Amino acid sequence: MTKRIGLVTLLLLLFWQVKAQHQLNGYVRDAKSGEALIGANIWQPSAQHGTTTNQFGYYSLSLKGDTATVQVSYVGYKTEKAFLKLNADSTLNFRLSMADELEEVTVKGTRPGVELTKMSSMTIKSQEIKNIPALLGEVDVLKAIQLMPGVQSGSEGSSGIYVRGGGPDQNLILMDGVPVYNASHLFGFFSVFNADAINNVEVIKGGFPARYGGRLSSVIDINMKEGNMNNWQADGGIGLISSKLSVEGPIIKDKASIILSGRRTYIDLLARPLIKMSTDSDVDLGYFFYDFNGKANYIISDKDRVYVSAYTGTDKFYALDKSGRDVSGNDYWEDESGIYWGNVTTAARWNHLINNKLFLNTTATFSKYGFNIFNDSYSRTVETDTTYEYDFYAAYNSGIRDYSIRADFDYFPNNRHAIKFGTQYIYHIFQPEAFNVDEGLYEEADLPDVKPVYGNEYMFFVEDDYTLNDKIKLNVGLNASAFYVNKKLYTSLQPRLSARYLFNQSLSVKASYAEMSQFLHLLTNSGIGLPTDLWVPATDNIKPQRSRQVAVGIHKSLQDDKYELSSEAYYKTMDNLIEYREGANFLEVSNDWESKVTSGRGWAYGAEFLARKNTGKVTGWVGYTLSWNNRQFDELNFGKIYPYKYDRRHDLSVVLNFKFSDKFEMNTTWVYGTGNAITIPTAIYPQLSPEGYDNYGYYEEVYQYSDRNAYRMPAYHRADIGFSWHKEKKWGERIWSLGVYNAYNRQNPFFIQTYTKDDGSTGFEQLSIFQFIPSISYSFKVRPNAN
């Protein structure tokens, strides 16, 4: 009985303690546009505690005492303060104004990099992406991410992302909560994300919060702009290879807004006459890509808001030959072949404030990625009174479609706990391979009937960002997931833990542990070229990928967060990775994909260092990574351990932005990386063919290769420089930009191949594609109320 009374008394005391506090909640937005400020800091200096806004700009904070002063800060914006009398729970929305870019922006009271529990993560703003010099003037989100420590590109010009030893399929790339399966344009040289439509990008390399699942190596969470709530505006640009335009504004002022953004290249139009002149042929060769983003949102009430967003983008490379057309028009033939690939994503979201401590976001999404290789031939021949027609079409298709519903809850019981929990269901439709041949010579071809594979993925998560005391803060979570395919059920419990110890207001140490499961695989060709990667599911024969990662780090803030210094070390293991068997490839139509692959394991470890300057006339960062990345497959390389293709011992990047005045700025980057690991032939010997001519043998050259990835390409390094001239106009702002990619003309390796020398011996030669490339572009910002 005494124990029960004691327990009731304790519960009453806890209840009284919670009720003695008052809850303050609301949204933090940009004063001009109304855009949500993600990760803004809300701080009560007297109590030395605070919180941050979620991806919709919402916050909830318990305040102590009869009165309280609250300050709200966001890097690059002026800090706002509010004095409150606490007699009841209340709602307070903040609108922050941008600071003068030439002023020193001081953010006192809270230092997110030091104080937050999350580690191995970074946030990149849209303007930071635009400040980085780019290939042919095309600013690129993934290029900016590749300049961060722990993240590297695959090869010259590639926008592939390789994070802490993982492959490109191990990155969960989300655009407004929807997975994007192919993030590349132009054979990997540009990404599909238009910087003009982006609000915020968060990259997580380790210490994954429990709300994320389904991939092993990273999360790239991209939030698109919501559209200006106050005024109509337009942003656009004209470059050497593409043009783009974004328009946004209020449908109903302070109630509903929309943004539409599009981009299209004209490489095919510019290159067509040059190709015809160089080949003296009537064949039309071309390549183009386009993408389009749209998003609308509507504030139903103070507690409800809905969003609808969509993306579509396509690449197409084609060769069209009509050179056989007869002048009379009676006889002709034409042949078109090529490849095209692209994404479609849509999302519908509903935000609902259940009460001032409980926030709900419900999301329904659709995602589709497809890849197609095709050949279409038609001919007509007229002989006397008879007409002969021949029509042939052949195609190879691959793709994946997802339908998903998800519910996310944010619960703020008090200042010691910030709890997130939720659930998600994804219905996958995989089409790893599909063949289509109509008529022609191959109408009786024995092609496999590859049927779609249907998968059901389930996920539930809970996490708590828990403040133990002034020094120790924890993020504890669990992700429980399951995958059902072909009557096979896989389940996975993935614990997540991040911890922070605060020595003082400017120095902290952090540690994390995360287990991850991935029910999807990406079959990747080892060669360079076409985007022929195939998304395939775990099956009863192919197990899901698994990983475990542990990381420790230290974070130091200097001069009120003007400078940041951080260092992390990590160790990661990966199981059930897949690769093509020796000699197998995606165009082998005689066997299904499962018979072409083998399973193995991998591990990666290393250390990362980052020094960053956030404010002032000169901003930027220096990042360095020291890492090791290995693989082992029983059926590859005689079962011996070998370095992964993108194992890179040293990776260094320097990014600097010089803001000389409101009218002129200069941006520079310099990157250095150890060369990629490659497999090369080490000997050549003749082989006698089974067939001979008379008494003489017919000889073929046979290559003997080294161990897998036993050699290295030369080191990669280059410098990029960009200059921008800004001028205010009555209608807004115009910007001229000049840039140079690979300013000192470094011939970086793209491919290594063998060739026969004049003396008959064999040597190696390097192919380089991007050397000194200048660019010029014109961009504008139309602001009707600018002056």
Residue type, 663: K
pLDDT at residue 698 tops 70: no
pLDDT confidence of residue 111:
53
Give residue for tokens 């002023």.
103
pLDDT at residue 18 tops 50: no
Give residue for tokens 């809270």.
110
**Residue 197, CA atoms < 13 Å, CB-side half-sphere:** 26
Task: Read off the pLDDT band of 106 (50, 70, 90).
Answer: very low
Lowest pLDDT segment from 285-294, 309-318, 516-525, 756-765: 756-765
Higher per-residue pLDDT: 608 or 581: 608
Nearest Cα to 172, choosing from 479, 451, 591?
479
Q: How far apart are CA 728 and CA 785, in angstroms?
A: 12
pLDDT at residue 81 tops 60: yes
Nearest Cα to 65, choosing from 83, 42, 91?
83
pLDDT, tens digit, for every residue of 408-437? 999 988 888 889 999 999 999 988 765 555
pLDDT confidence of residue 393:
66
% pLDDT > 90, the chain: 31
pLDDT confidence of residue 438:
58
Fold adopted by 21-110: Immunoglobulin-like (2.60.40)
pLDDT at residue 527 tops 60: no
Task: Read off the pLDDT band of 324 (50, 70, 90).
Answer: low
Task: Read off the pLDDT band of 194 (50, 70, 90).
Answer: confident
pLDDT confidence of residue 64:
74
Task: Read off the pLDDT band of 281 (50, 70, 90).
Answer: low
pLDDT, tens digit, for every residue of 722-753? 999 999 988 889 999 998 988 999 988 877 77
CA 783 to chain centre: 30
DSSP string, 547-585: EEEEEEEEEEEETTTTEEEEEEEEEEEEEEEEEEPTT--
pLDDT at residue 580 tops 90: no
Lowest pLDDT segment from 118-122, 234-238, 350-354, 529-533: 529-533
pLDDT confidence of residue 10:
42
Mean pLDDT calculated for residue range 643-657: 91
Q: How far apart are CA 151 and CA 129, in angstroms?
A: 16
Task: Read off the pLDDT band of 285 (50, 70, 90).
Answer: confident
Lowest pLDDT segment from 27-41, 337-351, 397-411, 519-533: 519-533
Lowest pLDDT segment from 29-43, 77-91, 431-445, 514-528: 431-445
Pairing of strands 41-44, 67-73: antiparallel
Task: Read off the pLDDT band of 675 (50, 70, 90).
Answer: confident
Mean pLDDT calculated for residue range 183-193: 75
Highest-pLDDT range among 266-270, 304-308, 339-343 = 304-308
Give residue for tokens 């519910």.
407
Q: How far apart are CA 418 and CA 462, in angstroms?
A: 11
Contact residues for 238 (Cβ-Cβ < 8 A; gap 6+): 777, 778, 779
Give the bridge partners for 608, in sequence order: 568, 625
Contact residues for 309 (Cβ-Cβ < 8 A; gap 6+): 176, 224, 293, 294, 295, 296, 346, 347, 349
Task: Read off the pLDDT band of 348 (50, 70, 90).
Answer: very high
Mean pLDDT calculated for residue range 299-325: 83
Rounded to 10 degrees, what is the CA torsion of 105, 106, 111, 114? 80
Task: Read off the pLDDT band of 439 (50, 70, 90).
Answer: low
How far is CA 520 from each of CA 441, 531, 538, 608, 689, rounded to the nearest angstrom? 37, 17, 6, 28, 43
pLDDT confidence of residue 13:
42
Residue type, 139: V
Q: Homologous superfamily of 121-676+713-782 in CATH?
A: TonB-dependent receptor, beta-barrel domain (2.40.170.20)
Residue type, 81: K
Burial pattern 361-396, b for ≥16 Cβ within 10 A else e, equals bbbebebbbbbbbbbbbeebeeeeeeeeeeebebeb
Task: Read off the pLDDT band of 15 (50, 70, 90).
Answer: very low
Give residue for tokens 């992700």.
479
Task: Read off the pLDDT band of 761 (50, 70, 90).
Answer: confident
Residue type, 8: V
Give the bridge partners for 42, in sequence order: 51, 72
- Alpha-carbon torsion (188, 192, 193, 197), positive or negative: positive
pLDDT confidence of residue 642:
93
Residue type, 779: S
Residue type, 7: L
Rg over alpha carbons for the chain, rounded to the nearest Å, is 29
Q: How far apart are CA 346 and CA 175, in angstroms?
A: 9
Highest-pLDDT range among 90-94, 376-380, 752-756 = 90-94
Give the bridge partners for 503, in sequence order: none
Mean pLDDT calculated for residue range 355-378: 88
pLDDT confidence of residue 293:
92
Count the neighbouring beta carbons within 10 Å of the beta carbon of residue 314: 17
Pairing of strands 664-673, 677-678: unpaired
pLDDT confidence of residue 533:
66
Nearest Cα to 707, choosing from 628, 631, 637, 632?
637
pLDDT confidence of residue 26:
87
pLDDT confidence of residue 511:
94
Tokens of 535: 């998304």
Give residue for tokens 């390549």.
287
Tokens of 393: 């079409």
Q: How far apart are CA 37 and CA 226, in angstroms?
A: 11
Could you tell me if 338 and 350 are in contact, meaning their C-beta atoms sit under 8 angstroms apart? no
pLDDT at residue 110 tops 50: no
Nearest Cα to 649, choosing from 626, 631, 668?
626
Residue type, 504: N
pLDDT at residue 261 tops 90: yes
Q: How far apart are CA 749 and CA 768, in angstroms?
A: 5
Mean pLDDT calculated for residue range 778-785: 83
pLDDT at residue 99 tops 70: yes
pLDDT, tens digit, for every residue of 20-71? 567 888 899 888 888 888 888 888 887 777 888 888 888 888 887 778 888 8
What DSSP character marks residue 57?
S
DSSP reduced 3-state for 730:
coil
pLDDT at residue 710 tops 60: yes
pLDDT confidence of residue 444:
46
pLDDT confidence of residue 482:
96
Count the neighbouring beta carbons within 10 Å of the beta carbon of residue 726: 16
Residue type, 689: S
Provide the mean pLDDT of the chain.
81
Higher per-residue pLDDT: 41 or 133: 41
Mean pLDDT calculated for residue range 173-195: 82
Could you tell me if 406 and 420 are in contact, meaning their C-beta atoms sit under 8 angstroms apart? no
Tokens of 652: 């260094």
Count the neighbouring beta carbons within 10 Å of the beta carbon of residue 236: 18
Which helix (H) or strand (E) element contains residue 96? Answer: strand 94-96
Could you tell me if 381 and 387 are in contact, meaning their C-beta atoms sit under 8 angstroms apart? yes
pLDDT, tens digit, for every residue of 150-171? 988 766 655 568 899 888 889 9
Task: Read off the pLDDT band of 689 (50, 70, 90).
Answer: low
How far is CA 453 from each of CA 372, 394, 401, rounded to the nearest angstrom? 18, 22, 11
pLDDT at residue 327 tops 80: no
pLDDT confidence of residue 115:
65
Lowest pLDDT segment from 172-181, 279-288, 468-477: 279-288
Task: Read off the pLDDT band of 249 (50, 70, 90).
Answer: very high
Please state the pTM of the whole predicted model.
0.85
Query: Domain spans of the chain?
Result: 21-110, 121-676+713-782, 677-712
pLDDT confidence of residue 496:
94
Could you tell me if 177 and 347 are in contact, meaning their C-beta atoms sit under 8 angstroms apart? yes
